[in-house]
Structure 1
Amino acid sequence: MNQKNYTILFILTLVCFAKFSFSQEQLPLPTPAQLQWQNAELAALVCWDMHVFDGEFYVQKEARITPVKDYNAFNPQNYDMDQWIKSLKDGGFKMAIFTVSHETGFFFHQSDATPYCMKALKWQDGKGDILRDFKASCEKYGILPGVYIGTRWNSFYGVYDFKVNGNNQFAENRQQHYNLMIENIVEEIFTNYGDWAMVWFDGGAHGPEQGGPDVLSAFEKYQPNCLFYHNLQRADMRWGGSESGTVPYPCWSTFPYPSTGAGESAKKEIHANNFQLLKTGIPDGKYFMPAMSDAPLRGNGGHDWFWEPNRDHIIFPLETLIEKYYKSVGHNTSLILGVTPNPDGLMPEFDVKRLKEFGDEIKRRFSSPVATTSGTGEKLVLKLPKMQKVNQLVLMEDIAKGERIREFVLEGKTKEGWQTIFEGSCIGHKFIHRFDAVDLSKIRLQILESKGDPQIKEFTVYNVEG
């Protein structure tokens, strides 16, 4: 081999090494918990708190500062946790998250750290444990269990925005008491109930540096394989910038900061332009932090995360839920849908019906592909069994190797030749595109820009009626 060939070989080696080095070292990669989160796609936030039982309409600003009048109003006569979780299973949900505590400060588990918990109730002679039942039922139905812990507001203890009111010794002592109590409660939840798939601290969880309890240390010690959301140091996922159950396209899973903050602690650029950065992420973010798209099921003309009487009419129509699916799961996020059991201890009849309709419709739309393929490289051609109508396709990257694709084009082979279907940027975990039905024999994906070799986990085309 002459000197010229050696030089060419050396240059090619450097190029290959550079591509390998970039894709392996510079692209942020998801943790196993983050992969599990994005693969779940559909999660239910099961919201229950003491104000569900007071017969009054929930007003958040009042609930945060007003202790519950009578916590023994909690008396669900037909309580059936399996009915809750089965309704979620029928809806196609892969994960469920239960509000073990919210703004009233009551904890729905057996606690030795606070008296304001299930032990205080007359119901089940003070021996009930909703969190225990929730975890067991999730395991029974194959649902990933998550727990939502409210520490930022606690009307029973007089804590608002993480803090006890006042600047005197009493307030300081009270704050120390509250912080220690929360740390002990969190340790109970992390050690007495097995593994969690996700832990969600409502409104964030300020740590000792902001005068709050240290929950991150307990998490890292006892639940290291779980998804953490969130405090000023760490966020394994991010809020999608609205409670509409949708995000715009594109929505990248990478973010410029390791956490998002909460309230005044959030960076100005995160607040800017109506939380645009949370909604879109950035393509070359340093941190892997996928977005969520959250909305309550009872949000059609209202916004009820918690059950209220005579509100069945605000349950989202099926077609609205399907649209949210396309603009959440289909835009590279997971959809979190808020559901709430009623005071009888059951998921309401109309909610159960709508969840089942939703699950059945998603199955109908995505259970019969026309053709599918996968592969690596800058071009993939999907040959259809025959010239036929198609109107929907799904693309998925192998995000375990990072979000690599930056620009792509989709083209269909008609009788007149290749025609452009879509020009896009982000694929990520999943991108779903709907288009007017057209007769095609092939569909071609061309990657125009990527960081490292493109890794297409799935390229599937459908013809969906209706």
Structure 2
Amino acid sequence: MKRLLITAGLLTCLAATNAQDIAPYGALPTKAQLEWQDLENYMFIVFGPNTFTDKEWGDGTEDPKVFNPTQLDARQWARTAKEAGMKAIIIVAKHHDGFCLFPSKYSNHTVRESAWKNGKGDVLREIADACKEYGLKFGVYLSPWDRNSPDYGTPYYNQLFANMLNEIYAGYGPIFEQWFDGANGEGPNGKKQEYDWEFFYQTVYHNQPGTVIFSDIGPGCRWVGNENGSAGTTNWSTINTKGFEPGAKAPAPAILNKGEEDGAAWVPAESDVSIRPGWFYSPSTDNSVKSVDKLMEIYYSSVGRNSNLLLNVPSDRRGLIPAKDSLRLMEFRRMREQVFKKNLALNAKVTASHSRSQLKPASLADGNASTYWASPDSVKTPVITLNFEKAVTFNRLLLQEYIALGQRVKAFRVEVLDHGRYKEIANETTIGHKRILLLPDTKTKGLRITITDAKACPVLSEVQLFKAPKS
């Protein structure tokens, strides 16, 4: 045992030394961004007066007493997320109507003025506590647009909004992600607000430096450019943010969808989508919950394209996730587990045309994303080959870059051994944190991956193969 511990220690030191030997390329993720990317799949909960008025965007004039869930159970939300294989929840604490799910002292349009619990309730407290109980990370959406606040559109409002952020960060524990959108319409006085985004960002960082901030341009992670849960087939984790702002002054959706090669800032994509047609619960959508096949398609188009997946599962008017939605989430988890249950590449003998000293190609098929292989600095188009003693049949190929050192791969080709010759089955672009290719059933004893273009020597952590069952 002592010998094994010493050996493990030496290998860890060796890996650290090799990482130092490889020069990082371009913009790099922070530790918080790396941890965020590993979450991959988490829950959005959009809930508020609109749930009861059957609107998507409230106008701020609704009577707060309309908010009155009869069975609200944040532990049910958290338990559902946990059992669905999700690792975090982001709650909409204030939407554009200005209604706060917590008794903010900076608003008169909150749960304090509602009929729920005679004004003594705090949804934000209940979900924060439930996330802690179930081991989930906790995030908050707070809309800067406020259609109820009389201060909106005045010089004071930015300070009021920052005060509300301070209130949340002081009172509700660690927040892994702060969600901002750029919606900016008129307030009750008919005026629009000039948002002080830098002030808002610094308010968050002053409280919790490790929080990942979402907006059109980050700075922690970016909107993917649509609400379909679909990242670009080419997707860089880098973009140029200088001169842009969230909202109307953001980069074009097409740019947000695929990122920018050699962008100056590391701002990876987050793909947001709802399990129902709308963001808020509506009885009219009870028979329109997305199918498992559709959710898998979204998963492959988001997590499988170097993006995280934020899936909205709205609470109903009782304050519960409906049974249909919960069941679909469990089916979705079961399907993912069936697809990725057995990594066929673990049985492969891995070789490479070129390898960096002491970094073995076998690391690519060890099932451990923290180990990696790299080619020498002078080689940007190496060839990786997996050979199998017995033929394997697969239809999913998963690739990962070691993104702590930057995103490098620009294009790659996949070939399989077919009657003694290699046949191309895929020719794709970026990899990033994770790339999953959907392929026809393919039986082979040999797989060859050629990096055809790269910004610097490729650094890859995983090559995995799976045989997904038919739907």
Tell me the TM-score normalized by structure 1.
0.83
Amino acid at match of 1:330: G
Amino acid at match of 1:298: R
Amino acid at match of 1:283: E
Amino acid at match of 1:221: H
What is the aligned counterpart of 2:215 among 230, 238, 243?
A: 230
Give the match for residue 412 of structure 1: 416
Matched, 1:358 2:332: yes
What is the aligned counterpart of 2:266 among 269, 276, 288?
A: 288
- Between the two structures, name the one with larger relative contact order (CA 8 Å, sep ≥ 6): 1
Give the match for residue 176 of structure 2: 197
Give the match for residue 12 of structure 1: none
SS at match of 1:221: helix
Give the match for residue 427 of structure 2: 423
Give the match for residue 151 of structure 1: 144
Amino acid at match of 1:366: F
Q: What is the CA distance between 1:115 and its match in structure 2?
A: 3.2
Give the match for residue 87 of structure 2: 94
SS at match of 2:318: coil
SS at match of 2:283: coil
Distance 1:79 1:431 in 2: 38
Answer with 78-87 or 413-422: which moved more.
413-422
Q: Indicate conservation of the 8 Å contact 1:204/1:229, yes or no.
A: no
Matched, 1:140 2:137: no
Q: What is the CA distance between 1:110 and its match in structure 2?
A: 3.1
Give the match for residue 444 of structure 1: 448
SS at match of 1:244: coil
User: Per-residue displacement from partner, 1:159-179 (whole Å, max 9, x unpaired)?
Assistant: 7xxx53xxxxxxxxxx24433
User: Per-residue displacement from partner, 1:227-271 (whole Å, max 9, x unpaired)?
Assistant: 012387x522111111111123111111122585233323xxx23
Give the match for residue 380 of structure 1: 384
Distance 2:422 2:464 in 1: 18
Give the match for residue 297 of structure 1: 275
Q: What is the CA distance between 1:342 and its match in structure 2?
A: 0.6
Matched, 1:317 2:317: no
User: Per-residue displacement from partner, 1:83-119 (whole Å, max 9, x unpaired)?
Assistant: 1122122222222110000022111123233233233
Give the match for residue 64 of structure 2: 71
Q: Indicate conservation of the 8 Å contact 2:222/2:270, yes or no.
A: yes
Q: What is the CA distance between 1:325 and its match in structure 2?
A: 0.9
Distance 2:255 2:150 in 1: 33
Give the match for residue 39 of structure 1: 38
Amino acid at match of 1:316: K
What is the aligned counterpart of 1:114 among 99, 107, 115?
A: 107
Distance 1:156 1:349 in 2: 33
Distance 1:84 1:412 in 2: 45
Mapping of residues 197-346 of structure 1, within 5 Å: 197-203=176-182, 210=194, 212=196, 214-230=199-215, 235-258=219-242, 260-266=244-250, 270-271=251-252, 275-299=253-277, 304-346=278-320
Q: What is the CA distance between 1:363 and its match in structure 2?
A: 1.1
Amino acid at match of 1:78: Q
Amino acid at match of 2:316: N
Amino acid at match of 1:457: S
Mapping of residues 397-408 of structure 1, within 5 Å: 397-408=401-412
* Gap runs ≥5 in structure 1: 1-19, 165-174
Answer with 212-221 or 404-413: which moved more.
212-221
Change in 2 beyond 3 A, CA 1:248/1:177: closer
Distance 2:129 2:469 in 1: 39
Q: What is the CA distance between 1:53 and its match in structure 2?
A: 1.8
Distance 1:85 1:395 in 2: 31
What is the aligned counterpart of 1:82 among 71, 75, 86?
A: 75
Amino acid at match of 2:392: Q
SS at match of 2:161: helix
Give the match for residue 160 of structure 2: 181
Q: What is the CA distance between 1:367 and its match in structure 2?
A: 1.6
- Point out 4+ residue stretches in structure 1 off by more than 6 angstroms: none
Aligned residues: 414
Q: RMSD across aligned C-alpha pairs, in angstroms?
A: 2.4
Distance 1:86 1:96 in 2: 11
User: Per-residue displacement from partner, 1:28-60 (whole Å, max 9, x unpaired)?
Assistant: 111122212221111221101112123xx3153
SS at match of 1:371: helix
